[in-house]
Amino acid sequence: KAGVTQTPRYLIKTRGQQVTLSCSPISGHRSVSWYQQTPGQGLQFLFEYFSETQRNKGNFPGRFSGRQFSNSRSEMNVSTLELGDSALYLCASSITSALTFRGADTQYFGPGTRLTVL
C-alpha cells in the first residue's frame, strides 16, 4: 500500500509570492492534516480536513488556507509569503471512520515539502 505522498518535495520562493502544496493520502484514508515544522517551534498544527470540510484549525493567519477534494487529496496554499514561512510542511492522513479502533485515529506522515522563502 502506497504511503502519503507530497509534491513538490522542495520549493524556493520569494517574499510576496504565493505557493500551493499538494498531498495525496493513503488509499482509504479520509482525513488529511497539515503541519508546519521549524527548528524553533517544532510541529505546529495548521488545519485538518475530513470529507472536504475543515474540521480543525490551528492558530495561523488567514494567509494559510487549504482544501480537500472528493478523492481525499488535499492542497495547502500560502499567500503573500514571508521569510518566516520557511519550513518543512508535513501532511498526515488517517482513516477516521466510524470503525476507527477504540476511537483514536493514528496519523501517517508524508515526506514533507521543504519551502524556502528568500
Partner 1 sequence: EDQVTQSPEALRLQEGESSSLNCSYTVSGLRGLFWYRQDPGKGPEFLFTLYSAGEEKEKERLKATLTKKESFLHITAPKPEDSATYLCAVQAITGGFKTIFGAGTRLFVKA
Residues making contact with partner 1 (CB under 8 A): 4, 31, 33, 35, 42-43, 45, 48, 55-56, 88, 90, 92, 94, 96, 102-112, 114
Q: How far apart are CA 68 and CA 36, in angstroms?
A: 18
Nearer to partner 1, 7 or 79 (CB): 7
DSSP type of residue 59: S
* Closest by Cα among 70, 80, 32 to 54: 32
Four-residue CA torsion sign, 118, 33, 26, 40: positive
With respect to partner 1, which residue has the nearer C-beta, 11 or 17? 11
Q: Rounded distance, CA 79 to CA 62, Å? A: 9
Task: Work out how close the CB of 80 gets to partner 1 at its nearest, in angstroms, rounded to a whole number.
Answer: 26
Q: Give the nearest distance from C-beta 79 to partner 1 in angstroms.
A: 24
Q: In this complex, which beta carbon is closest to partner 1, that of residue 33 or of residue 68?
A: 33
